[in-house]
Each structure stands twice: as structure tokens, then as C-alpha cells.
Amino acid sequence: MIGRVDFDVNGNGTFDSSEPTAATNRKGEFGQGASDRLFTGDSGPPADAGAALSGRGFDGSSGFAYTQLRAPKNARIISPLTTIIRSEVDADVASATGLDVGPVTLISFDAAQQFGDPSSANPRLARAITELNLKLIAYAGLFANNGSMDEAFDMAAGLQPVQSLFSGPGEKDLNKKSVALDIIGRSRIAAFSTPELRDAAAELMAEYGQAVSVYLKDPASAARVQYGLRFYVLPEIDAMLRTSSLALGERVRRITVSDITAAFDAYADAPRPAAAGRFFPVADYRSLSRPRQVREIVLSGCGTGDRSPVCNDIYFFSGPDVQSSYSLTSVSLPPAFAASMDVALLPNGGIRIRRLSDEVRFAYFDYQVRAANGETATSRVFVRLGDEI
């Protein structure tokens, strides 16, 4: 994670404004020994590394944003997994993971740095923890994001149902439908969905877990998994639950592990985050369902209506995203999509997207955005043409 970490030095369970905060470097390091921090205006990490942690930032391989990552006292890392571990003696959660290591290892082993590193002392554990983190991310997105798949996932809130289940005895295999159904039953989804739709959602979540297990090979494949999760798996479940549609439920049931891994592969050419300085872009997702549809994405109304792509390009190093601080400077459409849609930068600084044919496909265009301090970043908007979900 590239971002910021807060420290609960006084141990009161909250992260007070007077307590230390530290930026990471581009490797995600934030401890006392971290060099080349992206922001030096923070107070920095405390000398005593025994504080609980709370972090928010970007995944360095995919560019997607995550907030409210947590870790208990004496943790050396922060991740989705550490977010559900309550303390360094939390044997129940450690047992539930099935990783055959204790909680102290789970809150100190840096899987993100060691996964894919030929010199890793424990490559098998690095891969296993990375695999588990990718599965946990899916539940955070399902429970905490209300259908907005390109914005930051609130990990602490979204993972509460998982933490509830993992706090009981025994291993919990996230590749099993019964486990997924138990987790969904502990979430807010249980209050407004039918048993049939919850069952379909659990089936797809378990198949996503199975797809991750067979697909994950290296950090680049982990980035593709996040794209497929956010732009294929979660939108299918969201549409089904949002509309209470039994027809969409049947469509969800027809999705296979092979379909999901193919969705991962569809993002093989997704670019790594490209940014100058401390400003990071996040990939975006839009849809044009109607033939010849025109859609304008304007620079106002991040909370309602058509959100600008920059609404989710959170600048973690200077406080909350301020819409007027950013401006779109250019857009570009690959020639391969020129017959399917066109895009244009409007005089008001927004973007017009126009669907040109009845072809059903995914396409994308890139945009460049400039922050108020002059820093620039380039990101991509993926557009689903047809078959609105």
C-alpha cells in the first residue's frame, strides 16, 4: 500500500488528530527505517513501534484505493488480513486462515514485498497470504461500497462480517459456497435480499475465490485479479441485488471459474499507476448501455450524478479530495476502439463519451489530470458498451 499510516500511541482504540501519522514510500514502507517517503510533512512514525495502525492508500500494482486498513498493536505490516486480526494473540483468526502460522507471523510477515521475489525466504507463505488478501478485498467491496466499484474500499467496515465468522473456531475456506453464504448472512445484505439471491451471490464469491487460487502467479496477476473483481464479479452481484432480479440471479449462477479467469486476463494490458510526485490516479468504470448513447462526465457533482474520473483520485497526502483542485488536461482513445465510441475533452473540463455502434464490448480511454500543485497523473476509464448491469 502506498499512502499514509496513523498510529494509536495512547492505546485508546481511536486514531486521534494529535497522534503520529507517516507517509509511506513507493514500496509501501512506513516504519522508522523507511526512506524516500512521499511526504515529509507528517510527524513520522513513533519511536515505539507498539502502536496499533490504521492506513489508507493505493495498491502499488493496480492503483486501486483502499481505506481503513487496520493492524493490531505490535504489527509490522498493514493489510486486509491484519484488518481482521484483533491482537497479536488472536489464535482464532489465525486458525481460520488455514495458513498454519500464528498471529504474530501474520501481522509481521511482509507478503507484499516477498511475493514474486526470487530471494524470498518463504515464497509459499507470501503467495498464500496474497491470495487470501485478494479474497478478503472482495468481501470489503461487496459489503461496503454500494455498487461503486472504482472508488476506495472501506476495509474495516466491509470486513466486519468476515471477522465475525473468523473469530469462531476452525478453518474457514473462502473457496467454499457454504462459507461465503455464512459471511453474507452476517452482513447488511441479509436484510434486503432473498435467500435465492444470497445463494447466487455466495456461489459467485466462492467461484471468485477458486479463480484466484488457480490464477495467482505474480504481482502482475494480482493486479489483474483486482480489475476483474471490481469490473466484472462485483458489478454482476451488485446488479442482481440492487434490482432483486431473478433473471440476473440465473445469469450470476451461469458464471464459471473459467469466465472469471478470462475476465482477469482481459486486463492484461492495464497500465501500472503512472504518476509524478505524490498524486495517484485510480482506474474508473463507466457503462453505455443504449445504442448511440451519449454521456458527459463533468467536473462537478462528485456526490451525485455522473462522477468525474478525478472524483476517486484521492490525494492522500494533503487531506480529502477537493474537486476544484484538479483539472483534466487531455483524453486519448486507442484506434482499436474508434469504431465503437469516441471521447472528447469539453470546454467545461469534462469528458463526453459517445457510443457509435451496437457492438457489445469493453473499451477504454486514458486521461491526464493535473493537481493544483502542478503534479500530473495518467489513468484509464474502462467503458462497458451495451448489456447494462
DSSP string, 183-247: HHHTSGGGGTS-HHHHHHHHHHHHHHHHHHHHH--SHHHHHHHHHHIIIIIHHHHHHHHHHT-HH
C-alpha cell at 98: 488455514
Give, for all 389 residues of the chain, the pLDDT tens digit: 888 899 998 888 888 888 888 888 878 888 888 888 877 778 888 888 788 888 888 888 888 889 899 999 999 999 999 999 999 999 999 999 999 999 999 999 999 889 988 898 899 999 999 999 999 999 999 997 666 678 889 999 999 999 999 999 999 999 999 999 999 999 999 999 999 999 999 999 999 999 999 999 999 999 999 999 999 999 899 989 989 999 999 999 999 999 999 999 999 888 777 666 666 777 888 888 887 788 777 655 555 445 566 666 665 555 444 445 677 889 999 999 999 999 998 887 788 889 998 888 889 999 888 877 777 878 888 888 886 54
Contacts of 241 (CB under 8 A, 6+ apart): 189, 192, 193, 197, 201
Encoded amino acid at 235, one letter: P
Residue 274 confidence (pLDDT): 67
H or E element in which residue 81 lies: helix 80-84
And the C-alpha cell for 36?
A: 524516500
Phi/psi of residue 246, nearest 5 degrees: -70, -30
Q: Residue 10: exposed, middle, or buried by beta-carbon count in 10 A (0-12, 13-18, 19+)?
A: exposed
Q: How many other β-carbons are positioned within 10 Å of the β-carbon of residue 348? A: 10
Whole-structure pTM value:
0.89
Measure the CA angle with vertex 211, ends 208 and 214; round to 5°. 155
Q: What is the pLDDT of residue 252?
A: 97
Quickly count: other Cβ atoms within 10 Å of residue 302's Cβ: 16
Q: Which amino acid is at 155?
A: M
Residue pair 355/288 in contact by the 8 Å Cβ criterion: yes
Domain ranges of the chain: 59-187, 274-385
Domain 274-385 indexed as CATH 3.40.50: no
Q: Rg of the chain's alpha carbons, rounded to an integer?
A: 21
**CA dist., res. 164 & res. 160, Å (int):** 6
The bridge status of strand 153-154 relative to strand 65-71 is parallel
> Sign of torsion, CA 312 187 388 267?
positive
Q: Check: CB of residue 134 under 8 Å from CB of residue 211.
A: no
Distance CA 304, CA 220 (A): 34
Within 10 Å of residue 192's Cβ, how many Cβ atoms? 10
- Phi, psi of 364, deg, nearest 5: -160, 160
Residue (of 153, 148, 190) closest to 284 by Cα position: 148
Cβ distance 38 to 91 under 8 Å? no
